[in-house]
Amino acid sequence: MKTSGIFFLRRPPYRVQLASPRDGHGHGWQLLLGERHSQRGIQMLAAMWLGPEADAFMQAHPELKAGDCLDLQLDRLHVSRDEIVGFVERGDLAPPRWPAAAEDPSALPTPPQVVSCGVHPLTPSSPHMPHSIVALATVKKRAQEAARARKSADEACPYPFESAAAGSFKAYYEAEIQRMQAEQAEQAGAAQEASQEGQPS
């Protein structure tokens, strides 16, 4: 899944050595990001940027610090340990959206369990989303319920499709589908073993 938008750095980017080389690269740049649509709603993300474009960008902008804004395109978003993670496909500097916060990074609010939910780009309001802020635990619960009800992620997602909440919903939905499939495979294997044990040799 891909998403594009303006993100702010929660700390300066740092170079990491990859234990398992990925896409032919032995190292990459770790970006701890926040996505904010209001002063209260923040989605936490972590992204890895690989390749010569990442190295060139970091060499050109060694002064990057917490609070700086980046215009990024992220790919392969998924949930890992209750955090949304992915890979940077394209990046550029963005003008500061919250100058006061950028001047004082310690003033950035960092609630760990909040997702900002923007308004649907095609409608003036979202009837199924009366509030702009939704708890990440609520997103996870709705995604799990949709997966168990055998609904598709696009059909069941109650959030604007380009919002952070929608991205989190789909990532949690996919994680729940994988968990259910693994559980079914385990149950089928156990049933097969039981039936084999019950047959006379």
pTM for the predicted model, two decimal places: 0.48
Residue 134 is part of which domain span? 121-193
Domain annotation covers residue 201: no
What stretch of H or E contains 12? none
Q: What are 91-118's pLDDT values in tens digits?
A: 999 877 554 444 455 544 443 344 444 4
Same domain? For 57 and 127 the reply is no
Region 163-167 average pLDDT: 73
Same domain? For 58 and 150 the reply is no
Q: How far apart are CA 44 and CA 34, in angstroms?
A: 5
Same domain? For 79 and 3 the reply is yes
Q: What are 3-14's pLDDT values in tens digits?
A: 888 888 999 999
Domain annotation covers residue 34: yes
Work out the percent of the chain whose per-residue pLDDT is above 70.
74
Same domain? For 108 and 129 the reply is no
Same domain? For 35 and 68 the reply is yes
Assign residue 104 a region (left: φ > 0; alpha: ψ between -120 and 50; beta: otherwise). beta
Mark which of 79, 112, 145 sits at the end of a domain: 112
Q: At which residue do the structure tokens 């089928």 appear?
A: 188
Res 56 pLDDT > 90: yes
Res 36 pLDDT > 90: no
CATH of the domain at 107: 2.40.50.140
Same domain? For 101 and 51 the reply is yes
Residue 162's pLDDT is what?
A: 67
Instruction: Identify the weakest region by mean pLDDT among 4-8, 100-104, 148-152, 175-179.
Output: 100-104
How far from 166 is each of 78, 131, 170, 191, CA to CA, in Å? 12, 14, 6, 37
Same domain? For 107 and 126 the reply is no
